[in-house]
Amino acid sequence: MSDSVRRHDGGSDRPATGAASRDDEGSETPVRPPEPDGLPVLGNVHSIAADGLDFYERRAAERGGVARYDVFGTESYLLTDPDAIRRVLVEDHATYVKGEMPREQLGNLLGDGLFLAEGERWHEQRTAMRSAFFRERVDEYGDAMVEHARRTVDGWDDGDAVDLHETATGYAFSVLAESLLGDDIERERETVRAAAESITERFDMRRLASFLPEWVPTPTNRRYRRRLDALRGAIADLVAERRAAGPPADPGSADDLLGTLVAAAELGALNDDELVDNAVTFLFAGHETSALGLTYTLHALATHPDIQERVRREVAAFDDDPSPAEVRGCPALTAAVDEALRLYPPVHTFFREPTEPVTLGGYRIPAGVVVSLSPWVVHRDDRWWDDPETYRPERWLHESPSGSAPSGDGSASGEVAVGDDAPGPAVGERPEYAYFPFGGGPRHCIGMRFARQELRLATATLLRRVRLEAVDEEIELRASANTRPAGPVRVRIHELAE
């Protein structure tokens, strides 16, 4: 564990995976991974609910790169071998679907939106939406990212102790809601906020009740359904208004993400239900993850004043708050964000299901099981990362061949951290999928550029105005749907002299 969060066991003494001794193409007869050790029916669910991150780490440390576990009788395999992960996400991606498990948990929320859609439906949607996430389009969301960060600082007084998680959640919600709905957010803010809050609560895996299906009428589930219906209704009304006003001709030229979706629907890439599903998908996939990324970046900087100072020097060199292009040229800032996403990946685990029997890491995996891919475990593997549990942004920096920064703006340090398309290269030899906070292959996070830009712009805008001092040096993390802090993440605010 890092120097600022509680320690887990695990790490170095992991057994060799089957991959070391067997050929993945099957030249030896592959075997099934060892059976799980959980309780009848429940499987390992108690250990996961108690501390999922710790469970995943221990399971990988004890059993290697392909480790069996069970959840309520569902056969599951934790995959932490980067080459096997690459095969699942890239080379053999067509052999895998997202599958039953995410659909059972998220299907009522995300419907047939991009996150859960499969096959041709997914491909058509992704193709129609991709231009909205090209660099020049994402740049246009930069003003909202900076403006909301300025407002965040305006709400602070010198000496305040603020909870970064709460602050970053409010910030990321405001940015995403505005990016999604444009000016219409003014009317719908409360409906969207209430739904986002209920979604977060419904998928809080610290509560055993979150493992129950949505139709079980717990108070949380009932509130969630009511607020989600209100959100869907509000979005459907806005869509009708946008259509009446004349939608943009192509998805990439829309002013906001809802405009992108309406244009994609006009092109026939989405039906009306899928359009609303996708608006909810953006809200769900894009707001809590970014908030967590910002929380952990700022907390790491608060607990590492020297690194904070270095990033501040870089961003204070601009006359005004930096633009998206300028922060792309800030190596120390970029490295600070990318390292936080390594140490505390907001999505600790995501899932696939093989549609036919496959061989991974030398093991035979049947069709229809859950394959779990865990950035959390892989990002902390000391085979790929020196001193993996320490926050060390300098691992992402290296001297450029010419000794000068590549883009020329914002940095005179001569160090390079690669801009917004590829998160790296980190110094040192390691497999490509030793770092994958945004997933990988054709289904990698469509919002990756948006998120990395948001984290850099928010961090830059804040650090130009305040110094952050850690109040809660140690933070405890929990595997919920995402990697959430178990309690407040407080820092003290010190205003900088003008």
Residue closer to ligand HEM (CB basis): 76 or 281: 281
Residue closer to ligand HEM (CB basis): 311 or 493: 311
Q: Please give the C-alpha separations between residue 133 and each of 47, 105, 137, 420, 496, in angstroms, as whole numbers.
A: 39, 27, 6, 12, 35
Residue closer to ligand HEM (CB basis): 298 or 451: 451
Q: Write down the least CB distance from residue 424 to ligand HEM, Å.
A: 15
Under the binding rule (CB under 6 A), the answer on residue 181 touching ligand HEM is no
**C-alpha–C-alpha distance, residues 252 and 334, integer Å:** 26
The footprint of ligand HEM on this chain (CB under 6 A) covers a number of residues equal to 22
Under the binding rule (CB under 6 A), the answer on residue 285 touching ligand HEM is yes
User: Stretches 12-20, 312-320, 443-451, 487-495: which one binds ligand HEM (CB under 6 A)?
Assistant: 443-451
Of 117, 72, 35, nearest in space to 442 by CA: 117
Under the binding rule (CB under 6 A), the answer on residue 114 touching ligand HEM is yes
| Cβ atoms of residues 415 and 397 within 8 Å | yes
Partners of 67 in the β-ladder:
78
Phi, psi dihedrals of residue 205, rounded to the nearest 5°: -75, 0
The two tokens of residue 146 are 């900076």
User: Stretches 286-294, 318-326, 399-407, 426-434: which one binds ligand HEM (CB under 6 A)?
Assistant: 286-294
Q: Write down the least CB distance from residue 127 to ligand HEM, Å.
A: 10
Give, for 340, the enclosing helix (H) or strand (E): helix 331-343
Under the binding rule (CB under 6 A), the answer on residue 283 touching ligand HEM is no
**C-alpha–C-alpha distance, residues 100 and 199, integer Å:** 20
**C-alpha–C-alpha distance, residues 491 and 469, integer Å:** 5
**C-alpha–C-alpha distance, residues 462 and 148, integer Å:** 10
Q: Spell out, one character per residue from 218 to 257, where the chain touches ligand HEM: x when CB under 6 A holds, - when not.
A: ----------------------------------------
User: Stretches 144-152, 243-251, 278-286, 416-424: which one binds ligand HEM (CB under 6 A)?
Assistant: 278-286
Identify the residue among 164, 450, 457, 463 touching ligand HEM (CB under 6 A): 450
Identify the residue among 38, 251, 286, 419 touching ligand HEM (CB under 6 A): 286
For ligand HEM, the nearest residue by Cβ is 447
**C-alpha–C-alpha distance, residues 92 and 222, integer Å:** 40
Q: Spell out, one character per residue from 329 to 368, where the chain touches ligand HEM: x when CB under 6 A holds, - when not.
A: -----------------xx--x------------------
Of 12, 52, 89, 43, nearest in space to 360 by CA: 89
Helix residue ranges, H only, 209-271 = 219-245, 257-266
Residue closer to ligand HEM (CB basis): 112 or 415: 112
Under the binding rule (CB under 6 A), the answer on residue 115 touching ligand HEM is yes
Q: What is the dihedral of CA 100, 105, 108, 114, to 10 degrees?
A: -70
Whether the bond between 425 and the residue before it is cis, its omega within 30 degrees of 0, is yes
Under the binding rule (CB under 6 A), the answer on residue 126 touching ligand HEM is yes
Phi, psi dihedrals of residue 19, rounded to the nearest 5°: -60, -30
Residue closer to ligand HEM (CB basis): 224 or 435: 435
Return residues touching ligand HEM (CB under 6 A).
114-115, 126, 281-282, 285-286, 289-290, 293, 346-347, 350, 437-439, 443, 445-447, 450-451
